[in-house]
Amino acid sequence: MLKILKYSFYDLMRSRWSYIYFLFYLALGFVLLFLFNDVSQAVITIMNIILVLTPLIGTIFGVMYYYDSREFTELLLSQPIKRRNIFLGQYIGVATSLALSLFLGLGIPFVTYGLFQSSEIWNFSLLLVTGVFLTFIFVALSYNLALSYDNKIKGFGFAILLWLFFAVIYDGLFLILLLSFSDYPIDKLALIGSSLNPIDLSRVLILLKLDISALFGYTGAVFKQFFGSSTGMISSFALLLAWVILPTWRILRKSKRKDF
């Protein structure tokens, strides 16, 4: 598995996309810090970007990589290697290279701007950790889709739709749900609804750590109680982890039964 992971990783490195992705974040980090001159302001803006962009890039990269390396995968399948190792290796290879680009791309500018002296270091690390989580989640989800559809167009279409669903449509539906039940006590509903979507969960998690947390007002009491406590922190990370593990598990199951 490690060998395949290495191949996938180097393959992506050679294709230069990881560099471009890395350079994009590097430029973004430097520009934002240059514009704001204030780490905490930059953290909020970067949060907005990470929450939209990492899932999108993860989804597209995952699908693209699967379809691109299909022939190589078939070649590997003809060898005496476990299917589990092939697909897990590929998945982790892609996700790790993307996560690394994100981590280094944003990490370097912030470190050079004196992050270690700033009190924002925890918020920033939380931001990076959730970014890495989101990358792993969305690469896994897109791999699932790609495995399910041999038709590239269909696969791509559904992958984009998947991203659109989690980034936009889910919130829309959630908002409608909240508005239509606004006569009832819905803070629990709001809590559950926001923790089921990994993007929403990451957003709430970061916002609660930032200064704007008190904005959540009296509804926020429930949120703070839940996310602010260590059990809340642990359970929300457990949820994010579940979002990684379940799709990965399905990749393995699907790939085992798939007829290539």
Partner 1 sequence: MKYVLILLYILLPLFASAKTIEVCPTCPVSQIKVGIDLAEEGDLIIIKAGTYKEHDIKITKNNIRIKGEGRPVIDGEMVGTVFHFSGSNFTLSGLKIIHVGHSYTQDFAAVLVINAKHFEIDDMILEKVYFGFLVEKSKHGVIKNCIVSSKNKDEAGAGNGVHIWKSSDMLVTNNDLHGMRDGIYLEFVKRSKMTHNHSHGNIRYGLHFMFSNNDEYSNNTFENNGAGVAVMFSKYIKMSENTFLLNWGDSSYGLLLKEIYDAEIHDNEFIQNTIGINIEGSTRINYSNNNFRNNGWAVKVKGACYKNKFYKNNFLQNSFDISYKGQINSNEFKSNYWSEYTGYDLDKNNVGDIPYRPVKLFSYIVNETPETIVLLRSLFVDIINFSEKVTPVFTPDNLVDASPAMKPIPKRKPQ
Which residues contact partner 1 by CB under 8 A?
41, 44, 47-48, 51-52, 167-169, 171-172, 174-175, 178-179, 182, 186-187, 189-191, 193-194, 199-200, 203-204, 207, 211-212, 214-221, 223
> Which position has the token pair 């409608």?
176
Q: How far is the CB of 59 from partner 1 (least distance, A)?
A: 14
> Which position has the token pair 């406590």?
229
Are the beta carbons of 107 and 124 closer than 8 angstroms?
no
> Of the two residues 85 and 118, which places its CB atom closer to partner 1 in the complex?
118
> Of the two residues 177 and 252, which places its CB atom closer to partner 1 in the complex?
177
Are the beta carbons of 216 and 223 closer than 8 angstroms?
yes
User: Which residues neighbour 191 within 8 Å (Cβ) at sequence distance 6 or greater?
Assistant: 222, 223, 226
Picking from 160, 165, 200, 133, the residue whose alpha carbon sits closest to that of residue 62 is: 160
> Of the two residues 77 and 178, which places its CB atom closer to partner 1 in the complex?
178
> Of the two residues 87 and 166, which places its CB atom closer to partner 1 in the complex?
166
**Residue 212 is inside which H or E element, if any?**
none
> Of the two residues 78 and 182, which places its CB atom closer to partner 1 in the complex?
182
Q: How far is the CB of 43 from partner 1 (least distance, A)?
A: 12
Q: How far is the CB of 259 from partner 1 (least distance, A)?
A: 38
Q: How far is the CB of 170 from partner 1 (least distance, A)?
A: 8
Are the beta carbons of 227 and 55 closer than 8 angstroms?
no
Helix, strand, coil % (nearest 5) of the chain? 85, 0, 15
Q: Is the dihedral of CA 225, 230, 233, 238 positive or negative?
A: negative
Q: How far apart are CA 145 and CA 124, in angstroms?
A: 32
Q: How far is the CB of 20 from partner 1 (least distance, A)?
A: 23
Q: How far is the CB of 28 from partner 1 (least distance, A)?
A: 17
> Of the two residues 203 and 209, which places its CB atom closer to partner 1 in the complex?
203
